[in-house]
Structure 1
Amino acid sequence: MKILITGADGFIGSHLTETMIRAGYDVRAFVQYNSFNSWGWLDDSPEELQHSLDVFSGDIRDPHGVKEAVKECDAVLHLASLIAIPYSYHSPDTYVDTNIKGTLNVMQAAREQNVKKVVHTSTSEVYGTAQYVPIDENHPIQGQSPYAASKIGADQIALSFYRSFDLPVAVIRPFNTYGPRQSARAVIPTIITQLAAGKTDIKLGSIHPTRDFNYIDDTVTGFIHMMKHEASIGEVINIGSNYEVSIGDLVDYIVEVMDVSSLTIETEDQRIRPAKSEVERLWAANQKAKELIRWEPNYSGVEGLKRGLKQTADWFLQKQNLKNYRTERYNI
């Protein structure tokens, strides 16, 4: 199969691209055009994988480029998105252009090219603060940030093409993915990079909210199962560990796996979301994924989380990786 992966240059996209090439798929990697001729995280891929890549440089907001990228592809895994929540407070308009209009471009192109499967990427943020736990796919959705609102709009655009035009669309809804290469705007890299830089007083936002963390390998496997199983068509499916942990307890686990003797947490105002925008609780129900696409996490529970955190910390502790992160700055 010829697979188009949008957002292939990003955190999840680069891992997914590498995994699918190793599995024997013919992958076209849609990366954001830039004058440096950079492929994002794919620049760090082994040379033999880079030689197997069909790279398409463009912009998901450009419908003409998206149509060219989709040509001759059997399936599209659509990950390209603006994801930073704090930046969505700063520049909400660009989230509409990228996340909603970009998704529309992908769906239009996939429909015109008779693509056999489209997997659209959602986010657990669309649920907002849990009204009941664990959160299943019937949970109400609530846009508590411009980012979440744009993803709700994108999800509905994708599903409307399934309902209106019978486009074979599946919506994957990963909970908080973490692992090597993740942006420092996310909480786990924020903690690890500050500790790796030798700091004993780390700066964080609120530490009472809870999250359901998904190690990158589990999220990647979720995408592949979504693509392969016909039962996912027309469905929204959570990909989560079914384990809830507070940010405060998460810090303790990271301290343990990194063997840090002591630290102090300093709450920094600029890292705190507006009160009505903070998602206080996320905890994924994953029964639907188990039943429909035969997926379940390998990094579940506290032991699975610690194993994933150890692998993540080991990657960040390598000097050539840590140098890509500016621990002295808050990254919105």
Structure 2
Amino acid sequence: MRILVTGGAGFIGSEYVRRRLSSDPSARITVLDKLTYSGVEANLAPVAEHPDHTFVHGDICDPDVVEQVMAGQDAVVHFAAESHVDRSIDGAEPFVRTNVMGTQVLLDAAHRHGVGRFVHVSTDEVYGSIGEGSWTEGWPLSPNSPYSASKAGSDLLALAYHRTHGLDVVVTRCSNNYGPYQFPEKVIPLFITNLLDGRTVPLYGDGRNIRDWLHVSDHCRGIELVLHGGRAGEVYHIGGGTELSNHKLTGLLLDAVGADWDRVERVPDRKGHDLRYSLDDSKIREQLGYTPQVTFTEGLAATVDWYRTHRSWWEPLKKRAELR
């Protein structure tokens, strides 16, 4: 199968590429990545010399580049996105351009070339916040940040191409990912790396905000199930099954590196900060046989150990992005 993977040098995309090439001898993967601040070509170093891997440095918003890489593909797995909520609050334009306009460019090209399947990778944040219970796939979208609004727009656009043009589109929405190679602006790698450096970590507000945590390998496993078995025009939730408050998560990270609560700096809450996310992922479990395989306890321990032993990967990134 010939697969175009957008954003394949990013955290989740590179995990998908590494896993697919190591497990499927029939896979022929082309990665298209702009290599923005969070796109790291070194993430693909383990497969850089793989004969069935081709890397193309380019922007999904560029119709000429997309036209070239789309030709001959059997499927698209679309990870490429601007994804950091805080950055979207500071400036929404790159999020709308990449997440909405870039998705439109890809969909147009996929339609023209008759691509067999288009997997659009999205997020639980498109639903907003939920106090009790869990969202099902038919829940109304109610995004609260420029980032999540841009992803909701791209979701609707992708599904519209299925309804209008008959393009074989499936949409996945996942909970919060964690694991190795995650850019150190996100909460788990930011806290780990700060604590390893003897610095403080910033905890928003009272820390009551709740997220469900999903190991990146389980996420990619779910995407594979949807790619091969999902029904066209459907949405599938991919969850991790571990809901934690940010306060509880902070405590676990402190314990993991042997630090105390005096290393935690309380900071003003984020604007429009969603209180709780929770996905009902029974659809993918029942229809496609998905189940998370990495427990949060073992996954977090392995993630902390990875950052402890890969300073040469994250130290230059933090310096370049001026992360504190």
Q: Report the TM-score, using the length of structure 1 for normalisation.
A: 0.90
* 2:292 is aligned with 1:297: yes
SS in structure 2 at match of 1:317: helix
Matched with 1:273 is: 270
Match of 2:62 in 1: 62
Amino acid at match of 1:128: G
TM-superposed CA distance for 1:131, in Å, is 4.8
Distance of aligned partners of 1:245 and 1:43 in 2 relative to their CA distance in 1, 3 Å threshold: closer
CA distance in 1, matches of 2:175, 2:289: 17
Closer, same or farther in 2 for the Cα pair 1:130/1:107, shift >3 Å?
Answer: same
Aligned match of 2:312: 320
Whether the 8 Å CA contact 1:14–1:42 is kept in 2: the answer is no
Partner of 2:236: 237
Counterparts in 2 of 1:82 and 1:198: CA distance versus 1, 3 Å: same
- Whichever residue aligns with residue 121 of structure 2, its letter is T
Q: How big is the shift at 1:296?
A: 1.3
- Residue correspondences, number: 320
Alpha-carbon distance, 1:39 to partner: 7.2
Distance in 2 of aligned mates of 1:29 and 1:328:
24
Q: Which residue does 2:193 correspond to in 1?
A: 193
Q: Provide Cα deviations, 1:284-326, integer angstroms capped at 9, x if missing partner.
A: 2110111222211113xxxx11211111111110132342343
Deviations 1:112-152 (CA, angstroms, capped at 9, x unpaired): 11111100011111011115422221222112011111111
Q: CA deviation at 1:84?
A: 0.8
Deviation, 1:196, is 1.0
Q: Distance in 2 between matches of 1:39 and 1:86?
A: 18
Return the offset for 1:96: 1.2
- What are the Cα deviations for residues 193-235 of structure 1, in whole angstroms up to 9, with x where unaligned? 1111123x42222311000010011011111111110x33211
CA distance in 2, matches of 1:184, 1:83: 13
Q: 5+ unaligned residues in a row in structure 2: which ranges?
A: none
Q: Please tell me the residue identity of whatever aligns with 1:140.
A: P
Match of 1:98, SS state, is: helix
Matched, 1:284 2:266: no
Which amino acid is 1:281 matched to?
R
**TM-score scaled to structure 2, two decimals?**
0.92
How far, CA to CA, are the matches of 1:298 and 1:256 in structure 2?
23
Aligned equivalents of 2:48, 2:132: Cα separation in 1: 47
- AA aligned to 1:71 is A
* Displacement after TM superposition at 1:69 (Å): 1.1
**Aligned partners of 1:311, 1:41: CA distance in 2, in Å?**
22
Q: Which residue does the alignment assign to 2:300?
A: 309
Task: Provide the rounded CA distance (Å) in 1 between the counterparts of 2:320 and 2:227.
Answer: 40
Aligned partner of 2:74 in structure 1 is 74
Distance 1:47-1:155 versus aligned 2 partners, 3 A rule: closer
For residues 233 and 221 of structure 1, what CA distance do their matches in structure 2 show? 19
Instruction: Indicate the percent of aligned positions where both proteins have the same amino acid.
Output: 29
Q: Once the two structures are superposed, what CA deviation does each residue of 1:246-304 show, in whole Å capped at 9, x if it has no partner?
A: 011111222233343554321123xx311xx11100122110111222211113xxxx1
Q: Does 1:255 align with 2:246?
A: no
Q: Is the 8 A contact 1:62 1:105 kept in 2?
A: yes
CA distance in 2: counterparts of 1:181 and 1:323, whole angstroms? 12
RMSD: 2.3
Contact (CA 8 Å) 1:4, 1:76: kept in 2 or not? yes
Distance 1:49 1:132 in 2: 48
Structure 1 residue 330: deviation in Å? Answer: 6.7
2-structure distance, mates of 1:161, 1:118: 10
Change (3 A) 1:184 1:322: closer
In 1, are the aligned partners of 2:175 and 2:213 still within 8 Å (CA)?
Answer: yes
The aligned runs of 1:1-332 (5 Å cut-off) are 1-23=1-23, 24=25, 25-32=27-34, 40-42=40-42, 45-46=45-46, 49-199=49-199, 201-206=200-205, 207-229=207-229, 231-260=230-259, 263-269=262-268, 272-274=269-271, 277-299=272-294, 304-318=295-309, 319-326=311-318, 331=323
SS in structure 2 at match of 1:278: coil
Any conservation in 2 of the 1:253–1:306 contact (CA below 8 Å)?
Answer: no
Q: Matched residues in 2 for 1:122 and 1:234: separation?
A: 14
For the Cα contact (< 8 Å) 1:5–1:77, is it kept in 2? yes
Give unpaired runs (5+ residues) of structure 1: none
